[in-house]
Amino acid sequence: MSEPFDAVDLIRAKRDRRALSGEEIDWLVDAYTRGAVADEQMSALAMAILLNGMQRKEIARWTGAMIASGERMEFSSLAQPTADKHSTGGVGDKITLPLAPLVAACGVAVPQLSGRGLGHTGGTLDKLESIPGWQAALSNADMLAQLDEVGAVICAAGDGLAPADKKLYALRDVTGTVEAIPLIASSIMSKKIAEGTGALVLDVKVGSGAFMKDVAQARELAETMVALGTDAGVRTSALLTDMSTPLGLTAGNAMEVRESVEVLAGGGPADVVELTVALAQEMLDAAGVEADPAQALRDGRAMDVWRRMIAAQGGDPDAELPVARETQTITAERDGVLTRLDALQVGVAAWRLGAGRARKEDPVQAGAGVQLHAKPGDPIRAGQTLLTLHTDTPERFARAQEALVGSYDIAEAAGESTPLVLDRIGSAQGGS
Ligand code: URA
């Protein structure tokens, strides 16, 4: 079959900062997915996009072409409105676990398609898989039934959703082109729009432990994604949130489940509670439902949904969670105030202890990770434990300790504290 365009012409166009037409983009994405555009050609194009950017119009068409490469899900048969949340990924980011049942307890169904972790940021499915019996894979019919009966589902995205993104993301991962804002925005939004949610709240992380290291980049990514969602008829907003230090007091699969259950029981670390409630409020507003999420956490309604959500996927909500066999501690060498604890370094240490994977086929250790005993702003005594490292394989301690060298500062007095929610973008208020 003769092709209507030549990939080399389109690579040259992006190299020379020219915009691609809609027809050119539709062809490129489709031709790459079916193998008519080679990996080396798409790599060159991805690098040209990383260096020279894309116009909003091009990004919207690119996203549409990736959606069209696969199936679209549909939840219009549900009695309740739907809302989902997507985080761009951070260290200790377990928010999806308490958030999905909390929002469902307030009357909005949450269809959450999640992934496994790669590198230093953990994956929601890896965390939930530390619960004995819990299964990530659901058919579309089972997902719909669980949404109808329980109101919340967290499961693996099937292969049918945006297959063009799956192929392109794997290529970007090995060609240094993950960080291109047009490609990140279209990758995330193609999957979320194809998933069929009515409303979407984006948690765009900023700081050392995030993709986006500064607020200006994060704002550009958030604005691009909010525009893509809004144009596709999904009520979309974004919060820019701090990821310079880990969220909560744990980074590691089973440890993060335990901390999430504490939040659902009305306790848990203040930052995890604050962000869970802020994102829940955004999702409820976007879905047009008036409710008080803080109250639903306090009175146990969110915990009830959590227990039913876990049980519906084969998990035992009362089971003991795995604990790592070995621990090592890091202690403070002086009195003072903890003024910095670096998210990236803690994330890399947790990953090296076995909580994350280097290749997507690697297993993860459920009990491995890093436990924090203090957060920035806390007073510290010399000799106090700052971090406990957990692993089943003690030969991993040395590399984890290496990752943590210079990861914290203790000063005479507290510095200025950074707010957790840095900004909000979008106007996703009120239902349809
Ligand atoms: N997550 C995605 O799904 N895609 C990206 O490009 C980056 C993060």
Query: From the CB of 184, is ligand 1 less than 6 Å away?
Result: yes
115 CB near ligand 1 (under 6 Å)? no
**Average confidence (pLDDT) over 371-385:** 98
Q: Using an 8 Å Cβ cutoff, are 123 and 116 in contact? A: yes
Q: What angle do CA 90, 315, 162 make, to 5 degrees?
A: 50
For the residues 313-334, what does the mean pLDDT come to? Answer: 98
pLDDT at 272 over 60: yes
pLDDT band at 115 (very low <50, low <70, confident <90, very high): confident
pLDDT confidence of residue 432: 37
Nearest ligand 1 atom to the CA of 183 is 6
Is there an atom of ligand 1 within 6 Å of 171 CB?
no
Half-sphere exposure of 281 (CA within 13 A, CB side): 11
Identify the pLDDT of residue 158. Answer: 83
Give me the pLDDT at residue 202, please: 98
| Any ligand 1 atom below 6 A from CB of 212 | no
pLDDT value for 29:
98
Q: Hey, whose CA ends up nearest to atom 6 of ligand 1?
A: 184
State the pLDDT confidence band at 1, using cuts at 50, 70 and 90.
low
Known catalytic residues? Answer: 86, 165, 172, 187, 191
Question: How remote is the CA of residue 187 from the centroid of ligand 1, in Å?
Answer: 5
Contact 378, 340 (CB under 8 A): no
Phi-psi region of 133 (alpha: psi -120 to 50; beta: other; left: phi over 0): left
DSSP per-residue letters across 339-362:
EEE-HHHHHHHHIIIIIS-SSTT-
Quick one: pLDDT at residue 179?
86
pLDDT of 57 strictly over 80:
yes
Residue 113 and residue 107: Cα distance in Å, rounded?
A: 19
Q: What Å distances lie between residue 406 and 34, 91, 118, 328, 357, CA to CA?
A: 47, 17, 24, 17, 24
Residues in CB range of 89: below 8 A, 6 or more apart: 121, 205, 210, 211
Question: Above 70 in pLDDT, residue 429?
Answer: no
Distance 169 CA to ligand 1 centre (A): 7
Q: Quick one: fold of 83-158+181-318+421-425?
A: Pyrimidine Nucleoside Phosphorylase; Chain A, domain 2 (3.40.1030)
Tokens of 8: 């080399």
The pLDDT assigned to 278 comes to 98
Structure tokens at 59: 């990004």
Establish how many alpha carbons lie within 13 A of residue 289's alpha carbon, considering only the half-sphere containing its beta carbon.
22
- Give 278-295 pLDDT, tens digit per residue: 999 999 999 999 999 999
Q: Please state, in angstroms and rounded to a whole number, the distance separating the CA atoms of residues 403 and 370.
A: 12
Bridge partner residues of 388 (DSSP): 329, 371
Quickly count helices (H) and strands (E) in the chain. 16, 13
Pick from 336, 29, 272, 61: nearest CA to 163 = 29
**Does 345 score more than 60 pLDDT?**
yes
The predicted model gives 1-21 an average pLDDT of: 95
The Cα 404–Cα 330 span in angstroms is: 9
Mean pLDDT of the chain: 95
Is the CB–ligand 1 distance for residue 119 below 6 Å? no
Locate all alpha helices (DSSP H) within 235-269, ordered by sequence: 253-264
Q: How far apart are CA 91 and CA 247, in angstroms?
A: 6
Q: Which two structure tokens, joined as six digits, stand for 388? A: 């406990």
Residue 121 is predicted with a pLDDT of 72
Please report the pLDDT score of residue 48 as a whole number: 98
Average pLDDT over residues 310-314: 98
Give me the residue label for tokens 């060609």: 175
Side chain identity, residue 12: R
What's the CA dihedral at 297, 302, 303, 308 to 10 degrees? Answer: 180
Q: In the prediction, which pLDDT does 170 show?
A: 87
**Is the confidence at residue 360, as pLDDT, over 90?**
no
Collapsed DSSP state (helix, strand, coil) of residue 215: helix
CA–CA separation, 62 and 56 (whole Å): 10
Distance of CA 34 to the CA centre of its chain: 28
What was the pLDDT predicted at 359? 75
Q: How far, in Å, is the centroid of ligand 1 from the Cα of 363?
A: 21
Distance 186 CA to ligand 1 centre (A): 8
What does the domain layout of the chain look like in residue ranges?
83-158+181-318+421-425, 326-411
Helices (H), 88-198: 96-105, 124-128, 140-149, 163-173, 181-195
> How far is the C-alpha of 328 from the C-alpha of 385, rounded, in Å?
10
What does the alpha-carbon distance between residue 63 and residue 55 come to, in Å, rounded to a whole number? 12
Res. 119: pLDDT tops 80: no
- Alpha-carbon distance 171 to 173, whole Å? 5
CA distance 263 to 245: 19
User: pLDDT tens across 182-227, in order?
Assistant: 999 999 999 999 999 999 999 999 999 998 999 999 999 999 999 9
pLDDT band (50, 70, 90) for residue 122: confident
Please give the pLDDT value at position 127: 96
Residue 238's pLDDT band (boundaries 50, 70, 90)? Answer: very high
CATH of 326-411, one of 3.40.50.80, 3.40.720.10, 3.40.50.620, 3.90.1170.30: 3.90.1170.30
